Structure 1
């Protein structure tokens, strides 16, 4: 009995076949390649061969084949979304590929090379028997720039509806909402003599926000996250406290080291000592592993007596007991949320739904067990129904949306 192919192996086969098909259309195939392609075609079912023959007459064949070769990516994405009826401006998506895993992928790989959209349409004929309107009795808009600023006296300002300009004065620091919506601090006077006052920015589910700290450090907060920080940094340290997920670009200051503290409930706290850098921290309470991922520079990740210094491209994954596992990270995957993308790389439905729940502010309920994993990239600026439609196209999962309750079924 042959060993089942992994998702990545299936993808590699599809890419190889795409290249062979493109070569045949361009008349550049060698005899050996032509035999390999014909052998693969002979293994497909009669229905799939017929579907392939029909699709190869399409005038968009070569463009679609080139999609798999990462040529004219924006046009290819436009084609995908238009064909599945998703109203998306694909030009904002910096994706190199748009893939979805589907049932018996090797058996219908010929569909893949025509385009992701055609695959989806082909699968929908078999799997989406219940009308979409009946299953999605409501829809949810994507998240956006939403946050609440809590000042030192406990008063709160809803940032997404606040006017531009000075929002508050904290000691000798002014809190500004800039024209681009960013919150920033400007300090006046002698910071060392000021009483330390703390502010906190919190994003709800369905929110994200960008903040410029008093030292010029830029912070992007993901949904359901918070950052507590002083209105003015004093002394020889700059320390902030994070829950959830954030990306940092730390302003260099050799005289004041930058620290990010991450309380983790009953788990060992996670601390990051910054040595001038850009990095991402993910520490959601509902995620099994918390991580710090370095993009540039150098950071030291600390839990109790354990510590590790990361090089660019490395990720420290912290267990509940404070032990580290250092791995090479896929930075495109880690930073996809900041680029406005759901990045699925061998992702379980549970992993995907945790992201969906935070971004669309819905409560997920499972009816049945789904063990398949998914590969793909989906823009985060799409309505929830569009995301569900794309996921359903795999044939592995089905959804029903009732208000804020999202039911997930095999």
Structure 2
């Protein structure tokens, strides 16, 4: 049985008719109206499974071959219609809408390249499986003691300055301050740190009710309670916030060279040290941000992204339009890539699957477009990338060997 996951739009079309429509599209027998209906369904990017049974293994093979043949025809037609000049030698381009299909739970993405194939490379293999990451983190309390959060109980397991610390759900920690308690102004504030390792993610509710999502290899430092006039946290890695509104207490986020201020909003900050920039994407509300060493600031609007170069750069942040679905995919348990350099895709694999990347030969200069569930095993993810035709992978314990075949 083939399982395809394509992106449907909310149409009157019944789900049971989709396999027939897909089959007609592949075979070239779909009417113009049916083709447009299927393409509209694909463009909406709301994953849904569609199944059709194959009676025998031979029938499965025939269906698979017909599908590939149909996609190849789409690619050839698109090239003839669109590209008059040569395609750049070092880039691969996503060419056909019909190519955005999951095969056996994975996305098959097809590219076109006009350069000849290189000589055959030594065969690589998947010697073992690597499971995806999950809910795990470490809480470091002010006294230096550590709590492994993936093993914490649901009941309160710590108490700090009139604040109860408890796991309130799978992968979620809460700092619940008792509203009827008063903490003397002279009391020194205690700070906590929650950090996720490779292959980890976690959520936390701060003492003011602000919700925080931590991606892999990320951290947040915050006080056990917020004193009057300010709510300030420090982060590294990638963190998503849903800030509780409080006009009298602005919420500040410090991430490396960047300082960000909000009153109440939803935003994502990507501040991995090895990525060369801090990307702040606003989903809702408004934020003001600036370089820590500069008085100049920028205001973000919903749907915009600030890109602040790190290191010795003194440039103001660049403001661009963001793809919110792609930026927030990690929070929604999905990988979404739109013409993403394969090296950046591999960085996400490295963090989420807790693996070491080993490039055999030169690093490939390819772009990838696709949608892959974050709960996929590593071999499934790599087989999707191999489907582009330009890469081969091997797994050896916690190492991933990447080999370019172009």
Alignment check: 8 A CA contact 1:196 1:231 kept: yes
More strand by share: 2
What is aligned with 1:330?
A: 323
Q: Distance in 1 between matches of 2:363 and 2:343?
A: 10
Q: Distance in 2 between matches of 1:54 and 1:78?
A: 15
Partner of 2:236, secondary structure, is: strand
Question: Following TM superposition, by how much is the alpha carbon of 1:229 offset from its aligned partner in structure 2, in angstroms?
Answer: 0.2
Q: Which runs of 5 or more structure 2 residues have no equivalent in the other structure?
A: 1-19, 55-70, 79-94, 112-116
Q: What is the 5 A alignment of 1:65-144? A: 67-70=38-41, 77-79=49-51, 106-107=75-76, 113=98, 116-117=101-102, 120=108, 135-144=125-134
Question: Following TM superposition, by how much is the alpha carbon of 1:176 offset from its aligned partner in structure 2, in angstroms?
Answer: 1.2
Question: Following TM superposition, by how much is the alpha carbon of 1:69 offset from its aligned partner in structure 2, in angstroms?
Answer: 2.5
Q: Which runs of 5 or more structure 1 residues have no equivalent in the other structure?
A: 1-24, 27-51, 83-101, 264-268
> Aligned to 2:382, which of 368, 381, 388?
388
Question: Following TM superposition, by how much is the alpha carbon of 1:103 offset from its aligned partner in structure 2, in angstroms?
Answer: 9.4
Partner of 1:394, secondary structure, is: coil
Q: Do the aligned partners of residues 63 and 347 (structure 1) sit closer, same or farther apart at CA in structure 2, a change above 3 Å counting? A: same
Q: Distance in 2 between matches of 1:182 and 1:378?
A: 24
Q: Distance in 2 between matches of 1:103 and 1:394?
A: 13
Question: Following TM superposition, by how much is the alpha carbon of 1:313 offset from its aligned partner in structure 2, in angstroms?
Answer: 0.9
Q: Distance in 2 between matches of 1:282 and 1:203?
A: 14
Question: Following TM superposition, by how much is the alpha carbon of 1:286 offset from its aligned partner in structure 2, in angstroms?
Answer: 1.3
What is aligned with 2:272?
A: 284
Alignment check: 8 A CA contact 1:64 1:113 kept: no
TM-score, scaled relative to structure 2 = 0.73
Q: What is the 5 A alignment of 1:254-403? A: 254-263=247-256, 269-303=257-291, 304-305=293-294, 306-320=296-310, 321-323=313-315, 324-367=317-360, 368-403=362-397
Alignment check: 8 A CA contact 1:259 1:271 kept: yes
Question: Following TM superposition, by how much is the alpha carbon of 1:106 offset from its aligned partner in structure 2, in angstroms?
Answer: 2.4
Q: Distance in 1 between matches of 2:286 and 2:336?
A: 25
Question: Following TM superposition, by how much is the alpha carbon of 1:369 offset from its aligned partner in structure 2, in angstroms?
Answer: 3.4
Question: Following TM superposition, by how much is the alpha carbon of 1:342 offset from its aligned partner in structure 2, in angstroms?
Answer: 1.1
Partner of 1:347, secondary structure, is: strand
Question: Following TM superposition, by how much is the alpha carbon of 1:68 offset from its aligned partner in structure 2, in angstroms?
Answer: 3.1
Q: Distance in 2 between matches of 1:407 and 1:142?
A: 17
Cα deviation, 1:361-389, whole Å, max 9, x if unaligned, reads 00111122311211111111100000001
Q: Distance in 1 between matches of 2:29 and 2:276?
A: 46
Cα deviation, 1:215-234, whole Å, max 9, x if unaligned, reads 00000000000000001111
More helix by share: 1
Partner of 1:352, secondary structure, is: helix
Alignment check: 8 A CA contact 1:142 1:380 kept: yes
Question: Following TM superposition, by how much is the alpha carbon of 1:200 offset from its aligned partner in structure 2, in angstroms?
Answer: 0.5
Partner of 1:391, secondary structure, is: helix
Q: Do the aligned partners of residues 57 and 257 (structure 1) sit closer, same or farther apart at CA in structure 2, a change above 3 Å counting? A: closer
Q: Distance in 1 between matches of 2:208 and 2:342?
A: 40
Question: Following TM superposition, by how much is the alpha carbon of 1:191 offset from its aligned partner in structure 2, in angstroms?
Answer: 3.5
Q: Distance in 2 between matches of 1:202 and 1:154?
A: 14
Partner of 2:320, secondary structure, is: strand
Q: Distance in 2 between matches of 1:239 and 1:196?
A: 12
Partner of 1:227, secondary structure, is: strand
What is aligned with 1:185?
A: 175
TM-score, scaled relative to structure 1 = 0.72
Question: Following TM superposition, by how much is the alpha carbon of 1:302 offset from its aligned partner in structure 2, in angstroms?
Answer: 1.3
How many pairs does the alignment contain? Answer: 331
**2:227 counterpart of 1:234:** yes
Q: Distance in 1 between matches of 2:132 and 2:326?
A: 20
> Aligned to 1:156, which of 141, 146, 152?
146
Q: Do the aligned partners of residues 104 and 169 (structure 1) sit closer, same or farther apart at CA in structure 2, a change above 3 Å counting? A: farther
Q: What is the 5 A alignment of 1:169-180? A: 169-180=159-170
